[in-house]
A = this chain, B = another copy of it.
């Protein structure tokens, strides 16, 4: 393949030129005829050559697909906005260090179970491997999720749960169902940056409610409900992103009461549930899926390469959400993905894996906190689970500027203001304690902090 590509690139094979016969090239290259057939097939699949029946292979004259795809890895400079962390974390080259990213390293994930699951899939019935699934998603996986809801004390029927392409897509469908441009939506300040990106796509007014170590500030929440008449509140009740805090029972009760008084719907994104050592209060449990919608996914605990989320909600909403998912994606997640997830969740190994992961994270959290403390970074709280540490910088340092500097060292940080509607978190960074092993991370951070201390406070680059 390389030989033919090189000849075409060097114009030694012009458009329309016949390629050597399979037998001749095999002899010349000292390989088997079947190797040449395979190489020609692939070159044809790439569009570089084409077979004409009975007369051999010819160069097509198609420009080589730019080899420069790798150059796409060089990211253009972008503003530190709600897309910043996503783009930097997802598109950085594999050698980048990513203490700012929102997932566990590959070697923390249950790869053995995934490999086993893929092999098992290879033995499944034809129809499972080729057909669209049903519109609500794989029944075995929905049953498993209903069982988990029942364990939490939420009695829900199969008509109250559907699978989606991802957790984010679950929220997007809900926004499509319930929001109109110009509506107000409450989020925590700080909150997961992609809530803001998503809500911007819906052209709604985003109203931030200050977040406390026990959940949203209730007085501010009540005031925002009264002032903005929001249609929706989107939150993580357990192991909140970015702070790692969890809702207290009192805050849960008062937030739900305020939501009821204001007639607003709550989307509870429960993506970090399995990282909790014990179940903390949930709005969906108090409410019983009346005005609270539960969403979740398996990207953080199982695999982000096997996309699958879910929505548990009122049956009438689910029916409309299923229609919306047909209209906008022609169905839910890949059956290949849902069978894989269901197989792993149903096996006993998943619970064992999560037990180990929680212990490992507790150790990593402690270590990271100590190493960050040595730099003067102080955790806002010490979370009871998960992988985030929300840390305050020493006086006068700006986290966006630090993130830009560390990026030059190929270190991706998560600066506070990408999480903050009010842009009041400039002195915070979110760290992922599972992504802190490499000593170059703290070295880069130390260097950036030292460099920044030389610039006057308040004049940091935006």
Contact = CB atoms under 8 A, between A and B. Distances in A.
Given A139-B69, A334-B337, A63 B121 contact: no
A158 interface: yes
Given A119-B122, A306-B334, A334-B337, A42 B177 contact: no
Interface in A146-166: 146-151, 155, 157-159, 165-166
Given A65-B150, A69-B323, A69-B327, A305 B41 contact: no
A363 interface: no
Interface string A135-147: 1100100111011
Contact of A167 (B197, B307, B330): B330
Interface string A170-183: 00100011101101
A305 B137 CA distance: 11
- The A contact surface, by secondary structure, is helix
A318 to B, nearest CB: 11
Contacts of A345: 45
Interface centre among A127, A166, A317, A328 (most CB of B within 10 A): A328
A410 interface: no
A130 B123 CA distance: 22
A351 B151 contact: no
Contact of A299 (B119, B128, B132): B132
Contact of A328 (B47, B198, B263, B307): B198
A227 interface: no
Contacts of A139: 69-70
Interface string A24-52: 00000000000001101110111110100
A194 interface: yes
Contacts of A136: 72, 91
Contacts of A107: 126
A144 B360 CA distance: 41
Given A135-B86, A155-B63, A45 B144 contact: yes
A159 B72 contact: yes
Contacts of A350: 45
A130 B104 CA distance: 9
Given A46-B147, A201-B176, A326 B83 contact: yes
Contact of A72 (B86, B91, B104, B158): B158
Contacts of A75: 323
A324 interface: yes
18 contacts: A40-B348, A48-B147, A60-B151, A64-B231, A67-B180, A67-B324, A68-B157, A69-B320, A90-B133, A106-B131, A107-B126, A111-B129, A118-B122, A131-B305, A200-B327, A299-B330, A334-B337, A336-B336
Given A45-B320, A66-B317, A194-B326, 20 more contacts: A45-B319, A45-B346, A64-B180, A65-B143, A66-B157, A66-B177, A69-B323, A75-B323, A83-B326, A106-B131, A109-B126, A115-B122, A115-B123, A118-B118, A118-B129, A169-B328, A181-B181, A201-B328, A306-B334, A336-B340
Ranked nearest first, the 10 interchain pairs of A and B with the lowest CB-CB distance are: A41-B348, A47-B151, A62-B150, A47-B147, A46-B147, A106-B126, A197-B327, A109-B130, A118-B122, A168-B330
